[in-house]
Chains A and B, each alone.
Chain A
Amino acid sequence: GQSLEQPSEVTAVEGAIVQINCTYQTSGFYGLSWYQQHDGGAPTFLSYNALDGLEETGRFSSFLSRSDSYGYLLLQELQMKDSASYFCAVNRGKLIFGQGTELSVKP
């Protein structure tokens, strides 16, 4: 089987750094993706890790460790507009999504 676990909710203050973890139980996948969803709208792609290590895209970074079955999304210099749901997904040719983490950014 395959499953992904994320915290259901995370709260942080504006300007801070927050890490959203994703642990998975699956074998044989191409990589780990992260998507952002505002207010139930269309999910949008944020980051992808095909290999172990850190990928940086502006304020967002994503990390993957296949040996630990673990990844995370790191958001720096938080802004109010970062309040959204964040989903990790393993790529097995198809995407298998986690249940999502709702991030609330407070002033």
Chain B
Amino acid sequence: NAGVTQTPKFRVLKTGQSMTLLCAQDMNHEYMYWYRQDPGMGLRLIHYSVGEGTTAKGEVPDGYNVSRLKKQNFLLGLESAAPSQTSVYFCASSYGVAGGNGHNEQFFGPGTRLTVL
């Protein structure tokens, strides 16, 4: 199993350009997440999905869009990149979420390092 994979690994954009980050998981997980991590900070949730065809906003959704057309894939789009979106982006997946009867470990991809000039 490859687990969670992300493409591309690195990308440099100019302000105003658009791009899509791809996340794929082969663990048949229902839940998928997109985070961003800035220097000295924890991971902040951008958007997440609780199943194929569903998406929801996280803590910092502005400037991003997502789609979950297939269960195994979760796409993160930047329509008009800004320097403030320079960050490391992590995708994660989990089987479910804790419903009072346990936890649900999130499995993370290796990250995409994005620089917006």
Residues of A within 8 A of B (CB): 4, 8, 30-31, 33, 40-45, 48, 50, 87, 89, 91, 93-100
Contacts and interface: CB of A to CB of B under 8 A. Distances in A.
Interface in B55-98: 58-59, 88, 90, 97-98
Contacts of A40: 37, 88, 111
A30 B40 contact: no
Contacts of B44: 97
Contacts of A4: 42
Given A30-B100, A94-B48, A87 B42 contact: yes
Contact of A43 (B40, B43, B100, B104): B43
Contacts of A31: 98, 103
B53 interface: no
A100 B38 CA distance: 11
A41 B110 contact: yes
Contacts of B115: none
Given A87-B42, A94-B97, A100-B41, A43 B90 contact: yes
A31 B99 CA distance: 10
B61 to A, nearest CB: 12
B103 A100 contact: no
Given A8-B40, A87-B43, A94-B58, A45 B100 contact: no
B41 A30 contact: no
Given A40-B88, A42-B108, A44-B108, A91 B42 contact: no
A72 B60 CA distance: 27
Nearest to A46: B105
A69 B26 CA distance: 36
A21 to B, nearest CB: 15
A97 B106 contact: no
